[in-house]
Amino acid sequence: MALEVAFPNPTGRCGGLDWRVPKLHERWLLEDGLELCPRVESVPCQPRRLVGLRPTIDRMKSITTWTSQDIRYIERTVELALGAEGRGDVPVGSVITLMDEVVSEGSARVMSEGYQPRRHAEQEALAGVPIELWPRAKEMTCYTSLEPCLMCYGSLLLCGIGRVVFGATDLLGGARFIFDTMPPYYADGRGMPTWVGPVLPEICDALYERVDARFRTLPCG
């Protein structure tokens, strides 16, 4: 059964109330103090006046402040990206840190060892994380020269990485486009990493342009 909530309608239609079904990424606070989330099926389906709403997407807006060590690690991802480009691959690099120590690095191997579309830089870095460190995934940061794609974001999310810092925004395929349509499990932002960037667009945007040009020649990005 759908959950319906009434809230003030400036047009004055329906006695000043409009009716909506909550979207999965919204948590709504009702006038009787009950917080309504679509994940909670036991909430009675009775009209109540909406007091306020808190979309998860607000929590996931990109943070645009960072530290000197963030810049240092993004600069390292640029070095890795240029190394990938030097061997004929797309220029993307990634670094994973824990307590300001590098635990794994990776760069794109989509093209240089045969066509392998899943071998993005973040995937390569995740594969190198020592098994014994995974219980501390929430303390880890994944640095990448380019905003993660849907595949890499999904991997980072399900691996429990706590923070993602990227150098350039992916204007066409960045994961941020799905933040407001996450599954109900993540409706309250639970488990979603902090999103930081773009940190060095003056350097990484040029890499992104070359990535985009190369991907356009491939069967799949």
Q: Mark out the alpha helices in 128-215 (DSSP H runs).
A: 150-159, 201-215
What are the C-alpha distances in Å from 28 to residues 12, 23, 204?
A: 21, 10, 39
Query: Does the annotation count 202 as an active-site position?
Result: no
Structural contact between residues 126 and 141, judged by C-beta atoms closer than 8 angstroms? no
Catalytic residue among 75, 85, 105, 122: 122
Give exposure, 141-151, as e/b (b: 16+ Cβ within 10 Å).
bbbbbbbbbeb
Q: What six digits make up the tokens of 196?
A: 């930081």
- By annotation, the residues acting in catalysis are 122
